[in-house]
Amino acid sequence: MSLVKQVSKISISIPCRNIHTSCHSLAPVPLTYTSYSAPEHDRNSPLIIVHGLFGQKQNWNSVGKALHKKLEAPVYAVDVRNHGASPHTETMTYTEMAEDLVEFIDKVKEETKKKRVNLLGHSMGGKIVMRMAIDSKWSDRIEKLIVEDVSPKGYSRRHVEFRELIKTMRKVNLQRTRKEILTDLESAIPDLSMRQFILTNLQPSSKNKDEMEWKVNMNTIDSHVEELLGYTLPVGSYRGPTLFLHGAKSGYVPDSHKPDIKFLFPQVQFDAIPDAGHWVHADKPQLFIESVYKFLKV
């Protein structure tokens, strides 16, 4: 039986702890997380999962539980800054988010008495774990690296559609029920699964009981969207075992990017999951879990 805990990591010298008040981040922020653990069961290195843009730790509940059981290892799913229940800040560069993750990993290492952890990042989270891995001052914390459906190169035109998405989210009437908001978004976001994913970011308003509010820090994401989507990894390399696990129908990891990936990650393996799009873990959860397990168990 896995023990699922939802707790918030404590840190020092944090300039802002209020998730509804943005602040400039001068130090790593404490990431909230869910852990799936059972001390009598957990023999192997921890796995830390980092979600993508507009994602959050709760999206990983079923996959996190399954991986914990299969890997016989503690699994941690975090909320990155400006997402979920983690603090809101005025900035969110990839270097800052990597520093947040490093601090979290150091606490996990201390808690589990393990020297290194396995890292899995999806989309934006994939770029966060890559940014950490290629930096020599951080990479020795990593045993194996898994990048889900994202390239180390930037996506120059994606920010336009995400700006439209943010504009749509800002416009929606939040004085309606979750079901009504789902319907209201239909014309702007025709894909039902995408609308449902976006609505996982809704919560009852902390100020008005008759309203909903967005958990994500819309202002900071809006001001950083070009960097978040257009970011290309700086020079560096990670020479540990690496898996690029991507959807065969996605297009986020094209063959043209593979030479750059191999240069940055010399020990890379690729696994394209059939009939999966960008959210591989949601589209084909069993194939995703098997791929992760096969890579980590070797």
Alpha helices in the chain (DSSP H): 61-71, 94-112, 124-133, 158-171, 178-184, 192-199, 218-230, 258-264, 280-283, 285-297
Measured distance CA(85)–CA(18) in Å, rounded: 10
Beta bridge partners of 142: 117
205 is catalytic: no
- Residue 246's beta-bridge partner residues? 272
CB count, 10 Å around CB of 205? 15
Q: Of the residues 123, 151, 250, 291, which is catalytic?
A: 123
Extract the tokens encoding 51. Answer: 């979600």
State yes or no: is 278 an active-site residue.
yes
**Cβ count near 95 (within 10 Å):** 13
State the catalytic residue, choosing from 159, 246, 278, 281.
278
Catalytic positions are: 123, 278
